[in-house]
Structure 1
Amino acid sequence: MNPRGHTVGLFDSGVGGLSVLKALLADMPTSRFVYLADGAHAPYGERSPQHIAERAHRITDRLREDFGIEALVVACNTATALAIEGLRAQHLGWPIIGVEPALKPAAALTRSGHVGVLATRGTVESERFARLRDRLQNEASERLHIRSQACDGLADAIERDDPPAIRQLVRHYLGALESASTDLPPMDTLVLGCTHYPFASEVLQELSGPGVTLVETGAPVARRTRTVLAGMSDTEDAAAMASPNPGVTLLSTGNPYGLAEAAEHWLGLKAKAQRLDC
């Protein structure tokens, strides 16, 4: 079932969450999406947990009050790790979908048992990430080994669309991951643990090698969002499901022109972006 008439909000520190929006547009073409890039406070991965939580609450309140969103996708791994539990406690009974490094799908895919994770420092140092990693490794006994690497600066380089810097940083962090894993079988699965990273998938695949499978989270998040909204559709009044205005509203607390350019470059989406003080 493809839910109609819903308006879904998304936010990220910048343009990385566009990778999630791309999957949502493909999975839910009749829905409306409001995407906010919190560029004035980017990058989240190097901010304090308190700052990220404060931003998440402020953005969520603003999107609900001013744009009438009926569900929220926290399209940022760092914000999910550090803020989603507080958001759900504050907005009880209201659908909030997060993104997390796709450790479970990666664990199912790996043949060697060695899964690498590239993510922001805020994600890899979070309790939420540690709980998920430890649970999966414990369930798999000694068969599964998950090694993670914090990638300071990589999301920012992707945000700037700086290919030389992206290549240099990817090479450096893959090398660090390899150096920390000499006691393990070769890594055959690499989790892209930040929504920015799929936009660097070509260089990530090239430098990690053809034998490594890249795993990202956009499609699973889109499927989960559609399922949640379809469940709401079963119980809501038909009048509330009146004809939607499908499309995308782009908002930025930073540079709206950069967001619009990124949306056109990576999604083929031609839409103006608005500046939002939030």
Structure 2
Amino acid sequence: MVGVYDSGVGGLSVWKELVALMPGQDYVYVADSAHCPYGEKSPEYIVGRADAVTRLLLEKGADAVVVACNTATAAAISYLRASYQVPFIGMEPAVKPAALASVSGVVGVLATANTFKGSLYRDTVMKYASGITVIEKVGRGLVEAVEKGEIPRGLVRRYVDEMVGEGADVIVLGCTHYPFLEDEISRCAGPSVRIVNPAPAVAAQTMRVLDGHVSGTGTRKFYSTGDTAVLRSLATGIDPSLSPADFETISI
């Protein structure tokens, strides 16, 4: 069974790609929506939440965990790997493919404040984008909107216009919530700007870590520390066979 963890519903963008690659796999998903967003919380707080969620995922039978949250990956994945024996797959900043794809030499990265502060992001930029101008845009308000099932068109337009206005011809979705805004981001950016979503690459890495091994019969179970309405709506949009019984509110 593969456990998938996010601060909220955003990790469903990764789960969607996992299911596309490994539909027969069993999945358990935890949305820590009662504590979302993580974007500007302390690293210590995020590590504590990641630890609590991981313990729940292991109790539910997960033998691998996808940390489908850029902010939690940046703050907690080193701790998790040192603390538990199961493999952990985290989110990659996707700066390398963006830098390779850019013609203008300017890449926009839309992410949370804590993702930008993390050493994983900084090291990736230094290694793969040393000759590229990287515009870092903190997407304040976007996670909150997705958690409500909303598309904040005004905010998206503002952030995209600022990046494109500075010459970006590639925009990286540096938070797993943002693929749910990808159509609006693409519409605002225009056809000449490429959007990079790291989720497919993370799903492919998960399959490599599992060595293609599929365990189970394709069961899915979803837990949230908050309301499950938006989680249920988005997940059912990905897999219409899901039923209300597949969703549960928990307290951890």
TM-score, normalised by the number of residues in structure 2: 0.93
**Structure 1 residues 209-266: Cα deviation after superposition (integer angstroms, max 9, x where no partner):** 11000001111111111111117x5xxxxxxx8x723121011111123311221235
CA distance in structure 1 between the aligned counterparts of 2:243 and 2:122, rounded to whole angstroms: 39
Contact 2:92/2:202, CA 8 A, preserved across alignment: no
Read off the aligned partner of 1:274 and give its amino acid letter: E
Alignment of 1:47 onto 2:41: yes
2:140 maps to a residue whose letter is D
Separation of aligned partners in 1, 2:118 and 2:140: 15
Instruction: In structure 1, list runs of 5 or more residues that go unmatched.
Output: 1-6, 234-240
What are the superposed Cα offsets for residues 107-154 of structure 1, whole Å, 9 maximum, x if unpaired? 12112211110011111122221111122123xxx3x22221111111
**Secondary structure in 1 matching 2:103:** coil
Kindly state the Cα deviation for residue 276 of structure 1 after the two structures are TM-superposed: 1.5
Structure 2 CA distance for aligned equivalents of residues 157 and 61 of structure 1: 28
**How far apart, CA to CA, are the structure 1 residues paired with 2:240 and 2:94?**
26
- What is residue 26 of structure 2 aligned with on the other side? 32
Q: 2:97 aligns with which of 96, 105, 108?
A: 105
Tell me if 1:172 matches 2:146: no
Task: Report the RMSD for the aligned CA atoms in angstroms.
Answer: 1.7
Cα distance in 1 between the residues matched to 2:80 and 2:67 = 10
Query: Can you list the C-alpha shifts for 1:9-48, whole angstroms capped at 9, x where unaligned?
Result: 0011111000000000000011000000001100111222
Q: Secondary structure at the match of 2:110?
A: strand
Matches within 5 A, 1:124-139: 124-138=116-130
Secondary structure class of the residue paired with 2:100: helix
Q: How does 1:147-226 map to 2 (within 5 A)?
A: 147-163=135-151, 166-178=152-164, 181=166, 186-226=167-207
Residue in 1 aligned with 2:107?
A: 115
**1:58 CA displacement:** 1.1
Alpha-carbon distance in 1 for matches of 2:47, 2:241: 30
Question: What secondary structure, in the 3-state scheme, does the structure 2 residue paired with 1:190 have?
Answer: strand
Q: What SS does the corresponding residue of 1:230 show, helix, strand or coil?
A: coil
Unaligned runs of 5+ in 2: none
**Structure number with bigger Rg:** 1
Structure 2 distance, partners of 1:177, 1:122, is: 19
Structure 2 partner of 1:275: 249
Q: State how far apart, in whole Å, the 2-side matches of 1:178 and 1:47 are.
A: 29
Residue number in structure 1 paired with 2:221: 249
Whichever residue aligns with residue 161 of structure 2, its letter is G
Letter of the structure 2 residue corresponding to residue 271 of structure 1: S
1:80 corresponds, among 65, 73, 85, to 73
Q: Normalising by structure 1, report the TM-score.
A: 0.85
Q: Following superposition, which runs of at least 4 residues in structure 1 exceed 6 angstroms of deviation?
A: none
* Aligned with 2:60 (options 67, 71, 84): 67
Q: Is the 8 A contact 1:46 1:152 kept in 2?
A: no
Aligned to 1:238: none
SS in 1 for 2:237: helix
Identity of matched residues, %: 41
